[in-house]
Amino acid sequence: MRRARVTYQGAYHHVMNRGILGKNIFQKEESKKYFLTILKAAVHRIKILAYCIMDNHYHLILQNTSNKLTEFIKQINAQYGTYYRKSHGGRGYVFQDRYKSTLIQKDKYLRTALCYLLLNPVRAGIAKVPGRYKWTSMREYFTNRKGGITDKAEVEGIYRTNTGLIRYMESMEGKELEERHTRIGMVLGDEGFIEKAFELYERRGKRKGTRRQRISDYIFEPVEKVIKEFEKETDCRLKDINTTTWPGKRLRGMLLVRLKEEVGLKYGEILKMPLFKELKYNSMGELYRRAKEKN
């Protein structure tokens, strides 16, 4: 009997799946393009931070924002499987039956995992630098390009600049991820994170079917409730915050952190709110990072 995958709402994962028997199921450019189309159509269900499509397998780093990690992977695999069989003929499985999933601790571990994924083409010897391989998310970061697949603002907030991203990747060349085999499966993180992840997973199982859980369990709260609590704690209504002043900017930053972490809103959704409307999408990651450091 297979053990259930350990995940919870808000968890970060490195997911990888190969073609059955190692077949090159993405060998043609049209195949890779179609898989990206599937990912783009499905991003409303889960947050994707990075991707890499090789000839016989794919890598994703994502955040389980919808608490439907398994369903998401099954959906994209099934859609691509149907396309592949129609294009190449044959019957049966297209992907390996069991995809690989590594639970990732945030901060330095997530930073390392993202670079490791982007370096896949370099390790495989098919590109000298990551940016030369067009089937990764490398070209989405630190550009004005819109309509991408990833939540690039979060990734940009991690590395701050394109130079920072490139230098960190250079420091990763030739290194392997220090993944650990644990009682909860593959993990990239420390011992404290493993214990906390297991607690969150166990609590999720016990409360399955209920709607409310604690914020510390990464179950998101309604935006109206978070705003109401924010106004009460700061004794300031949103419409009265003057963002041309330092105190106003600080309050806006505080709210940004809450909207992202407690409500689970994406930067594009936050920018639609009056308090944030004059900001640019590309600045949100840095604003979030600075506000989190001060809080």
Residues 67 and 157 in one domain: yes
Q: How many residues does the chain have?
A: 295
Residues 173 and 90 in one domain: yes
**What is the residue whose two structure tokens read 């049966």?**
92
For residue 65, being part of any structural domain is answered with: yes
For residue 212, being part of any structural domain is answered with: no
Residues 128 and 257 in one domain: no
Higher pLDDT, 146 or 80: 80
Residue 33's SS3 state is helix
**pLDDT above 60 for 61:** yes
Residues 232 and 152 in one domain: no
The reported pLDDT for the residue numbered 137 is 97
Query: pTM for the full model?
Result: 0.71
Q: What number is the average pLDDT over the span 135-161?
A: 93
Residues 59 and 153 in one domain: yes
How many structural domains compose the chain? 2
Higher pLDDT, 63 or 204: 63
Structure tokens at 222: 């309604």
Residues 169 and 245 in one domain: no
Residues 159 and 56 in one domain: yes
Q: What is the pLDDT of residues 212-265, one digit of tens each?
A: 444 333 345 678 888 988 898 788 999 999 999 999 999 999 999 889 877 778
Q: What are the start-end ranges of the H helices in the chain?
A: 29-42, 69-88, 108-118, 120-123, 152-159, 162-172, 191-206, 223-234, 246-258, 267-270, 284-294
CATH number for 62: 3.30.70.1290
Structure tokens at 125: 């010897």
Count of alpha carbons within 13 Å of 4, Cβ hemisphere only? 9
Residues 143 and 235 in one domain: no
For residue 1, being part of any structural domain is answered with: no
Mean pLDDT for the chain overall: 88
Q: What are the start-end ranges of the H helices in 89-135?
A: 108-118, 120-123
Alpha-carbon gap, residue 185 to 200, rounded angstroms: 14
Residues 159 and 248 in one domain: no
Q: What is the pLDDT of residues 11-58, one digit of tens each?
A: 999 999 999 989 999 999 999 999 999 999 988 889 999 999 999 999
Q: 281 lies in which domain range? A: 220-294
